[in-house]
Structure 1
Amino acid sequence: MSMNHASLLGGFADPVFDTQAVFRAVMDAMARPGLLQTMDRPLAPPAPFGEAQGAIALTLCDHDVGVWLSTGLAKSPVGAWIGFHTGARLVEEKSACQFAFLEAGTTRLTFNAFALGSQDYPDRSTTLVLELPSLTGGPELVLRGPGIKEQVVIAPCGLPESFLLQWQENHQQFPRGIDLILTSGRDLIGLPRSCTISLKES
């Protein structure tokens, strides 16, 4: 992880105000699963990090947080950028991270490889932040659960293989399990472990 020009630039213009705004948006997204949020804070993270991914990293990561990066992100200046702006440390073991960031095009993803928390400490789990080509235009998925009135339909494009099966297994472990934030560019959708996800019937 070398420190270069790309690692130093592209942070928030007003870190205090911007992180507060992003924090509220992320908390609202997790409290209301399926609700699309758009980051409106100016930010220019290094490629291939999306703007929403970068905003989440700068807002929720600090020197106490372990961050895992997928292969494409680990080979880029993203790790150095996160480290410089937040003080977070990179970890190689998926089970040792509080946040995991994955680039667009990730085709295989094993939820159980990450920290799932325990019955006594379910908060000691990983939050996955997955970049997708788009949060619209894909197969329609139905969300149900806390924070949702009856149901919400989303249609993210480019989810990894076996996503629905893995999510079902993840939900069944509640209150343990991972939380997931889907991002695409400046947009994000929160998928807490408490919600169920199924394919919409045609």
Structure 2
Amino acid sequence: MIDLAPGFADAALESQAVFRACMNALARPACPRPLATQLTPPAPLSPEIAALALALADHEAPLWLDQRLAAEPAVRRYLGFHTGAHFAETPDEAAFALVSDPGACPSFQAFASGSDEYPDRSTTLLVAVDRLAPGDAYVFTGPGIKDRIGLDLAPLPPDFRQQLQANAALFPRGVDLIFAAPGRIAALPRSSRLSGEA
């Protein structure tokens, strides 16, 4: 018998709370929000990314795991059992992509960006970071942001700024990003733009 870490103690209440936190984060881009969870998933899957996956994924929403997560069979077993989701072999097949190593994340172009007719058929990236806090490393404007807002995130790919610009240029297509650090999340929907960008 394979030992499997538990999921939500109260699946209905906890998944609703995580879903609500996620929606609030998307409604207020680049604004860190608390995300409390008691999950203890197998490493290197973080509790916050696990909570997001358990609340968002299901049998109709395939998951893609980055190389670091995919290398741990316990992670796949945990997510498969608790979500019922299938696993995408390539990034562009995924509804949700779980990224534990942002520096090695494929380019946003590798993921589904939807179409003009169906922009919702895109991938949402759930990205684990060490630092997520108000700051001025990246400054954003757009819907849900009053004037502008700054956010510090780390670690990130060296070309993250260029990838954000290219993603915003695809609007209404493009990927959405949800970042998770210990105890908090922040979102960057595709409508968010770096300050100073057209």
| Same-fold call, TM cutoff 0.5 | yes
Structure 2 residues without counterparts, runs of 5 or longer: none
Q: In 1, distance between residues paired with 2:105 and 2:9? A: 35
Give the equivalent residue in structure 2 for 1:73. Answer: 69
- Asked if 1:54 is matched to 2:50, the reply is yes
Q: In 2, distance between residues paired with 1:65 and 1:148? A: 29
**Aligned match for 1:99, one of 85, 89, 96:** 96
Q: Say which SS state the counterpart of residue 15 (structure 2) adopts.
A: helix
Give the equivalent residue in structure 1 for 2:115. Answer: 118
Q: In 2, distance between residues paired with 1:69 and 1:40? A: 23
- 8 Å CA contact 1:100, 1:128 repeated in 2: yes
- 8 Å CA contact 2:99, 2:126 repeated in 1: yes
Q: Any idea what the Cα deviations from partners look like across 1:150-182, whole Å, max 9, x if unmatched?
A: 011111121112011011010011000000011
- Asked if 1:86 is matched to 2:92, the reply is no
Q: CA RMSD in A?
A: 1.7
Give the equivalent residue in structure 1 for 2:31. Answer: 35
Q: Say which SS state the counterpart of residue 183 (structure 1) adopts.
A: strand
Q: Say which SS state the counterpart of residue 20 (structure 1) adopts.
A: helix
**Aligned match for 1:194, one of 186, 191, 195:** 191
- Asked if 1:163 is matched to 2:147, the reply is no
Report the TM-score, using the length of structure 2 for normalisation. 0.93
Q: In 2, distance between residues paired with 1:69 and 1:105? A: 12
Q: Any idea what the Cα deviations from partners look like across 1:23-62, whole Å, max 9, x if unmatched?
A: 1000000010011122223211111111110111000000
Moved more, 132-141 or 10-19: 132-141
- Asked if 1:180 is matched to 2:169, the reply is no
Residue type of the partner of 2:62?
A: G
Give the equivalent residue in structure 2 for 1:146. Answer: 143
Pair 45,113 (structure 1): closer, same or farther in 2 beyond 3 Å? same
Q: In 2, distance between residues paired with 1:105 and 1:41? A: 22
Structure 1 position 88, deviation (Å): 0.2
Residue type of the partner of 2:6?
A: G
Q: How many residues get paired?
A: 195
Structure 1 residues without counterparts, runs of 5 or longer: none
Give the equivalent residue in structure 2 for 1:12. Answer: 8
Pair 44,108 (structure 1): closer, same or farther in 2 beyond 3 Å? closer
- 8 Å CA contact 1:164, 1:198 repeated in 2: no
- 8 Å CA contact 1:107, 1:161 repeated in 2: no
Pair 198,47 (structure 1): closer, same or farther in 2 beyond 3 Å? farther
Structure 1 position 107, deviation (Å): 3.6
Q: In 2, distance between residues paired with 1:94 and 1:61? A: 15
Q: Any idea what the Cα deviations from partners look like across 1:79-137, whole Å, max 9, x if unmatched?
A: 11110001001111111110000113534530001000000000000000111121149
- 8 Å CA contact 2:37, 2:47 repeated in 1: no
